[in-house]
Amino acid sequence: MNNLSGETNWLNVRTHSVLEAVKSGREDYVRLLGWVASKRAIGGIVFVMLRDGSGFIQVAGKKGVTDEESLEVMKRVSLESAAMVGGPIREDERAPHGRELSVKEFKIISLADKWPITKSAIKSPSFLYDNRHLSIRGRKAISILKIRAESIYSSLEFFTKRGFTLINAPMLVQSACEGGATLFNLDYFGKVAFLTQSAQLYEEAAICAFEKVFVLQPAFRAERSKTTKHLTEFWMLEAEQAFATHSDVMKLEEDLVSHMTNHIVDECSEELKTIGRRFSPPTTPFPRITYDEARNTARRKGIVFEWGDDIPTEAEKVLSRSFDRPFFITGYPLKARSFYHMADPKDGRISLSSDLMAPEGYGEIATGGQRIHEYDTLLERVKKQDLPIESFSWYLDLRRYGLPPHSGFGIGIERLVRWICGLRHIRASTLFPRTITRISP
Ligand code: 4AD
Ligand code: MG
């Protein structure tokens, strides 16, 4: 039977991963498990591109070399079927990596129906996302998602080496961190609760236990407009540090982005090549401009906005296109910021905060700053912004029990990956994107 679906001891069947096979010696006999990523027949030879978790390898079936039944199976096998392939590794300069597997045995493990993701089927731009459960097997999707995974590994390494403690914060909350407009409300046994927008408030409690903390978890925002940079569910990497100023965290952000991008370039050169992205890690320090300078530059380019407003997306794009590496915008007006931001002691209208912007038009990837650590100042701000004092009582309470000056930031993983990979739309940077128009698959 040329069908292995009854087999259970898979570890015994597989002798190599694809990556090991590509690197193994000539004539080594290998048995691989994987999926049929593509297939073509030329002059009686059947070429299959086999994919496993480690990569792709060309396997070739030929009359007289491949066992007869296996060759018939290769001719029939459908795209994306799972299969076992066995045979010696041969050198062939026409094959990717200069190596191919000369098939002796080819067995189907799970036969796929006709694969729906074809060039002609991709009519509307949403087709691939309607079928994301299948389209994530594409080379580009795999490469982007590997780059994402490597970015995350490198960030964990960065913070751990610097003595930051990883904490986990709740996702069901009653204290809104970033204002009411983007809150997802839910009924919590008769009380109102929200999905978290940021772990920051909880990090601020945790720094009095650990001094330096970081969090990597989902954040939720009911973003009501269709854009190429907003998801409704995204992953945020946040750090908070006691006894630290705004400038300290800007330096930390620079070092983090530098570490992550260097790691990507070192570890993911193949993936960057596959997606056609030329990317070099930016040099530090990153340039810094003020909000006022940003506003003047935008005005010169014909984009006018009031002092105190958020920088509009169009202006952000224009500014970001004029840089070739990330840059900070400092000196944001206090009224454009959330309630916890500390005012600049030199000018009370301005906050001690900044946005880190990616170049090439990608725009904001992180926001950070110093927090109010004094009880009375925070209470006044909560009242002034008409926020429900009860839901911030614990957060205010922290200010009565030894909370020192402290600062922190949050960086959006998908925004970062979008820039590193050069993606038009942020949705490609995550496995199953959630946007205003998409909650499935
Ligand atoms: O600028 P934000 O709103 O800042 C905060 O939430 C702070 N509490 C973080 C902190 O200081 N601990 O969000 C931080 C980052 C943004 O710069 C952006 O990269 C990302 O989170 N982000 C989003 N990413 C995708 N889709 C959205 N809707 C996003 N909203 C924010
Ligand atoms: Mg922000």
pLDDT tens readout for residues 1-56: 456 666 667 778 999 999 999 988 778 899 999 999 999 999 889 999 999 999 99
Q: In a mutational test of the pocket of ligand 1, which residue from 151, 357, 367 has the highest number of ligand atoms less than 8 Å from its CB?
A: 367
Question: Backbone phi, then psi, for 71, in 5-degree steps?
Answer: -65, -40
CA distance 381 to 339: 6
- Ligand 1 centroid–CA 47 distance in Å is 47
- CA of 223, closest atom in ligand 1: 28
Q: What residue ranges define each of the domains in the chain, with the CATH number in brackets? A: 9-110 (2.40.50.140), 130-429 (3.30.930.10)
User: What would the pLDDT profile of 147-179 be if each residue is shown by its tens digit?
Assistant: 999 999 999 999 999 999 999 999 999 999 999
Please work out whether the CB of residue 392 comes within 6 Å of at least one atom of ligand 1: no
CA distance 122 to 240: 44
Q: What is the pLDDT of residue 7?
A: 64
Residue type, position 50, single letter: L
Instruction: Report yes or no: 49 and 56 within 8 Å, Cβ to Cβ.
Output: yes
Cα 306 to chain centroid distance, Å, stands at 33
Concatenating the DSSP letter of every residue in 363-386 gives: EEEEEEEEBP--HHHHHHHHHHTT
Place of tokens 């996702």: 171
The secondary structure element, H or E, covering residue 39 is strand 29-42
CA distance 219 to 433: 13
Closest by CA to 207, choosing from 251, 173, 163, 161, is: 163
Nearest protein Cα to ligand 1, atom 23: 412
Closest by CA to 414, choosing from 364, 369, 377, 374, is: 364
Structure tokens at 189: 């046994």
Please work out whether the CB of residue 143 comes within 6 Å of at least one atom of ligand 1: no
Residue type, position 276, single letter: G
Integer angstrom CA distances of residue 72 from 40, 63, 88, 406: 14, 10, 19, 68
Please work out whether the CB of residue 353 comes within 6 Å of at least one atom of ligand 1: no
Please work out whether the CB of residue 409 comes within 6 Å of at least one atom of ligand 1: yes
Q: What is the pLDDT of residue 1?
A: 43
Structure tokens at 36: 């049929």
Please work out whether the CB of residue 417 comes within 6 Å of at least one atom of ligand 1: no
- Ligand 2 centroid–CA 367 distance in Å is 5
Place of tokens 């854009």: 227
Please work out whether the CB of residue 310 comes within 6 Å of at least one atom of ligand 1: no
Under DSSP, the state recorded for 391 is G
The secondary structure element, H or E, covering residue 150 is helix 139-161
Structure tokens at 141: 């999707």
Residue type, position 46, single letter: V
Please work out whether the CB of residue 252 comes within 6 Å of at least one atom of ligand 1: no
Nearest protein Cα to ligand 1, atom 31: 412
Please work out whether the CB of residue 231 comes within 6 Å of at least one atom of ligand 1: yes
User: Is the CA virtual torsion 195, 228, 257, 368 positive or negative?
Assistant: negative
- CA of 338, closest atom in ligand 1: 8
Is residue 330 classed as helix, strand or coil in its secondary structure?
A: strand
User: Taking the chain (441 residues) in consecutive chunks of 10 residues, what is each chunk's mean pLDDT?
Assistant: 63 90 86 97 95 96 97 98 97 87 97 94 86 96 98 98 98 94 96 97 98 98 94 98 98 98 98 98 97 97 97 96 97 97 98 98 98 98 95 97 98 98 98 97 97
pTM of the entire predicted model: 0.96
Under DSSP, the state recorded for 352 is S
Ligand nearest to the CA of 227: 1
Structure tokens at 408: 């922190």
Instruction: Report yes or no: 385 and 417 within 8 Å, Cβ to Cβ.
Output: no
Q: What is the pLDDT of residue 5?
A: 65
Q: What is the pLDDT of residue 9?
A: 73
Concatenating the DSSP letter of every residue in 258-325 gives: HHHHHHHHHH-HHHHHHTT----PPPSSPPEEEHHHHHHHHHHTT----TTSPPPHHHHHHHHHT-SS
- Taking the CA atoms of the chain, what radius of gyration do you get in angstroms? 26
- Ligand 2 centroid–CA 432 distance in Å is 23
Please work out whether the CB of residue 326 comes within 6 Å of at least one atom of ligand 1: no
The secondary structure element, H or E, covering residue 282 is none
CA distance 218 to 221: 10
- List of residues 6+ apart from 377 with CB closer than 8 A: none
The secondary structure element, H or E, covering residue 121 is none
